[in-house]
A and B are shown apart, each in its own frame.
Chain A
Amino acid sequence: MTAMPDARPPAPIRTEALEALLTERGLVNADAINGLINRFVNDVGPMNGAKVVARAWTDPDYKERLLTDGTAAVGEFGFSGPQGEHIVVVENQEDMHNVVVCTLCSCYPWPLLGLPPDWYKDPAYRSRIVREPRTVLNEMGLALDDSVDITVWDSSAENRYFILPQRPAGTEELSEDELAALVTREAMVGVAQVGAPG
């Protein structure tokens, strides 16, 4: 265990103590906690959001519903739950790229994307993507033409943003499932675009 500057006991032990005391009071139980962990490790992830994107690409009516009321439209798939409220979907355009951050903590649409990756929670991403989005996106592998404007959306408890990426060219023949397989988590946060297949 590495030395802690403020002499706080190691987090694993504190967590264990907290769980024991809450269990003793009958406020939590191990099975319920295991179930919640299991759900977020195994059952909820970016594949949910990818299905939403593929539907929006193939069904104009769905897309309109999605852009009008994100929470209701993703609810059509049964995607709901904690951090699934107030989902706002923004669509990338030829001349406008959108990217999402939570500057204050880690707000993120869990039912669509699962829990956020480390880079999303990192202080450097949280501060730099607002100040120098083009540079940060470049570092993350997304080189946008200077003619493309960038909008940075700051997620919070009031609005959790989700990006509808552009459908790549050459995918007209693909099925909804095949399209969903192309969509990455990074594209739905706006730090990547969706690549053409192959």
Chain B
Amino acid sequence: MTDTTALLGELPADGPAAPPRSNGELVFAAPWEGRAFGLMLALTEQGVFTLSDFQAALINSIARWDELQRPVEEYHYYECWLAALETLVVEKTPVTNPEIDALTSHYLTRPAGHDHDHDHDHHH
């Protein structure tokens, strides 16, 4: 029987050959990843789209990443997740791409330290 734990200590901690770690890694590396995950599940629970719809969109978005971005940028799974989510939201809800872009731009102009604008006005 291989003592996996002992071997893992000698292998790189990240990169393509990164070994699995039984414990210690976070489920979400950053809070926004959790939000993007929760948004997707909440929308399936509301019946806005199905998990299968999302999986199909995620496969497309990962494939697109492989084609376009892999040479220039480190793979980020939840970026693909978010792109898939945006695609489905625009397809299945009244929310539009220009609206998402406008509100995102608006948030980007917030003063530093002001990271939650409840009175947002994205009609500008």
Digitize B67-95: 1 where CB-to-A-CB distance is under 8 Å, 0 elsewhere: 01110110111110010011001000111
B69 near A5: Cβ-Cβ < 8 Å: yes
Smallest Cβ distance from B49 to chain A, in angstroms?
11
Smallest Cβ distance from B26 to chain A, in angstroms?
8
* Inter-chain contacts of B104 with A (CB < 8 A): 9, 13-14, 17
Nearest residue (CB) in B for A44 is: B27
Smallest Cβ distance from A104 to chain B, in angstroms?
5
Smallest Cβ distance from A95 to chain B, in angstroms?
16
* Inter-chain contacts of A107 with B (CB < 8 A): 55
Question: Does chain B have a CB within 8 A of A147?
Answer: no
Question: Does chain A have a CB within 8 A of B113?
Answer: no
Tally of B interface residues using CB under 8 Å: 71
* Inter-chain contacts of B45 with A (CB < 8 A): 32, 36
Smallest Cβ distance from B124 to chain A, in angstroms?
14
Question: Does chain B have a CB within 8 A of A191?
Answer: yes
Question: Does chain B have a CB within 8 A of A195?
Answer: yes
Given A14-B104, A18-B100, A186 contacting B4 (CB threshold 8 A) = yes
Given A9-B105, A14-B86, A33 contacting B38 (CB threshold 8 A) = yes
Smallest Cβ distance from A183 to chain B, in angstroms?
11
Chain A interface: which size bin? 35 or more
Digitize B5-30: 1 where CB-to-A-CB distance is under 8 Å, 0 elsewhere: 00110010000111111100101111
B77 near A12: Cβ-Cβ < 8 Å: no
A157 near B99: Cβ-Cβ < 8 Å: no
Question: Does chain B have a CB within 8 A of A48?
Answer: no
Question: B24-44: which have CB < 8 Å to A?
Answer: 25, 27-32, 34-39, 41-44
* Inter-chain contacts of A82 with B (CB < 8 A): 41, 44, 51
Question: What's the Cα separation between A147 and B63 when bound, in Å?
Answer: 36
Stretch at the interface among A51-59, A62-70, A113-121, A172-180: A113-121
Could you list which residues of chain B lie within 8 angstroms of chain A, going by C-beta atoms?
Answer: 1-4, 7-8, 11, 16-22, 25, 27-32, 34-39, 41-46, 48, 51-52, 55-56, 58-59, 62-63, 66, 68-70, 72-73, 75-79, 82, 85-86, 89, 93-95, 99-101, 103-108, 120, 122
